[in-house]
Amino acid sequence: MKKIWLSLAGLSLLWTGGCGLTDTPTELMRAPAADVNQQSINQAVMQFLPPGSQLTVPLQPEESSAVSLHDLTGDGSPEVIAFYKTEKTDYEIGVLVLSQNGGSWKKTASFTGIGRELDYVQYVDMTGDGIAEMLVGWGGGDGLNKELSVYSFHENNPQELLKQSYSVMAVGDLDGDEQEELVLIIHDHSNLTSKAEVYGITEGMLAKRTEIALEGNVNGYEAAVIGKASAEKKGIFIEAGMGAHSAMTELLIYEDGQLHRPLVAAGKEIDLTFKPYSLGSEDINDDGIIEIGIHTQPPGTDELPMAEVPWISSYYQWRGGTELSHIEDHFQSQTLGFNFRIPEKWKDKYTIEQNPDPGSAVVHMMYYGQNGENKATLLTFQAMPQAEWAKIEKSFEGKQTPYLVLSEQNKQVLVAIQPQKPGHLGGQALREYNAMLLTSDEIRHLFRKLKRPI
């Protein structure tokens, strides 16, 4: 639940509970200026919102807010921008812009767009004049394409520089000229066609520079991100859902004003990045280059239904042409909220076991030797209710069970339980097992909290 609704009457009240909610309404506002009074902003928004209005938060990007501060006119003073819906219609979203004049806030602009939800809001200098434009994506609901409007503000009047439909979008510097480009992915579900379009400033106008056809026989495109595909080249990483148990990542490279699909061999469709479920591309190892995520099935799980497989997230970098190079593996538990990087010394000698119950709070990382003839627990992750933790901790200490507390959040305590030495292993298997055990420092280094989808 990323979308937040806030009634006008409750704007000055504390918020409690719910995904994505903040403690106070002032925390809705991002990037506040040090010399701007937060209370005056709250009062101004309350004053100028139409009666019966409710503030609404953009679905994307993740850090978006219902009320924000940005300098839209280039005069050095930020404007307040608020997004809202009214009770009159489900298909209209309002935008309120306030400017400070003589120590008080005045309404300088107010307009509406057609949409059931606010899909995207970003403030980016798209024209190269040093002043941010407002990018607003109006959404019609699940399965429908959205519509992007790019607004520039001159003398406090919004001017629409671009209006274009899209399925997913991304903004970033594609060609290294320190000027942002806009990428729109457009999927026509009825005609099973898709394309990617690049927009940028051309002869003083925001215009389309190039486009390329993409795979049209997909369920839909789900995300796009711009970043380094290699040390020398920028790329666009696009995630697509193919069916109930299939997804893929499309990589586009922008060179000499044109888009290319390097992972598609001549005369062939993409097959390098197929995966059972969507897995977003990201810079998983913090080297500045984005990796493509592809699921790997742990050994010994072939008989499990796909939904019960504890999939490993394997990440690859593009090496030019149609080549991908494996970087590292991770196990990511949405249920327990953690990301564990698989250590190199576990390679080809481990598997993962977990209860198929969606509510299960235990994951076992297992030694897997001799094709499964030798198995033993290497590490166990378990989430426990915070209210019961004191009792469980005493039990661990009484049994001399080694453990680490990794995180405490959402009234849960997540611990890593280190194993006692197994009595059933011997010889080469025991030597392999012992070499794979992790120290407390190694566990902490490999662990990180997983940013849960909202």
Q: What does the H/E/C string look like for 349-398?
A: CEEEEECCCCCCCEEEEEEEEHHHCEEEEEEEEEEEEHHHHHHHHHHHHH
How confident is the model at residue 366, as a pLDDT? 97
How confident is the model at residue 26, as a pLDDT? 45
How confident is the model at residue 343, as a pLDDT? 98
d(CA 317, CA 306): 26
How confident is the model at residue 269, as a pLDDT? 61
Question: Which string of DSSP letters, residue by residue, matches 116-171?
Answer: SEEEEEEEE--SSSSSPEEEEEEE-STTS-EEEEEEEEETTEEEEEEEEEESEEEE
User: What values do phi and psi take at 195, rounded to 5?
Assistant: -155, 160
How confident is the model at residue 5, as a pLDDT? 36
Nearest to 143 by CA among 117, 164, 163, 121: 117
How confident is the model at residue 21, as a pLDDT? 31
Question: 3-class SS at 325?
Answer: strand
> What residues contact residue 225 under an 8 Å CB cut-off, 6+ apart?
170, 172, 236, 237, 280, 281, 282, 290
Tokens describing residue 425? 């292993």
How confident is the model at residue 40, as a pLDDT? 81
Instruction: Return the residue matching tokens 């994307």.
Output: 60
Q: Element (H or E) spanning 20, and its range?
A: none
How confident is the model at residue 64, as a pLDDT? 85
Question: Which string of DSSP letters, residue by residue, matches 61-91?
Answer: STT--SEEEE-SSSSSSPEEEEEEE-SS-SS
Residues of the chain with pLDDT under 70: 1-36, 265-270, 358-359, 452-454
Longest alpha-carbon distance in the chain: 82
How confident is the model at residue 335, as a pLDDT? 87
Buried b (16+ CB within 10 A) or exposed e, 287-303: eebbbbbbbebbeebee
d(CA 445, CA 441): 6
> With contact defined as beta carbons under 8 Å apart, do 276 and 245 qualify?
yes
Question: 3-class SS at 10?
Answer: helix
Tokens describing residue 242? 């193919």
d(CA 273, CA 407): 33
d(CA 312, CA 185): 28
Cβ–Cβ contacts within 10 Å for residue 100, how many? 20
Vertex 165: Cα angle to 162 and 169 (nearest 5): 90
Tokens describing residue 180? 């942002």
How confident is the model at residue 385, as a pLDDT? 94
Nearest to 165 by CA among 190, 189, 134, 139: 139
d(CA 329, CA 313): 6
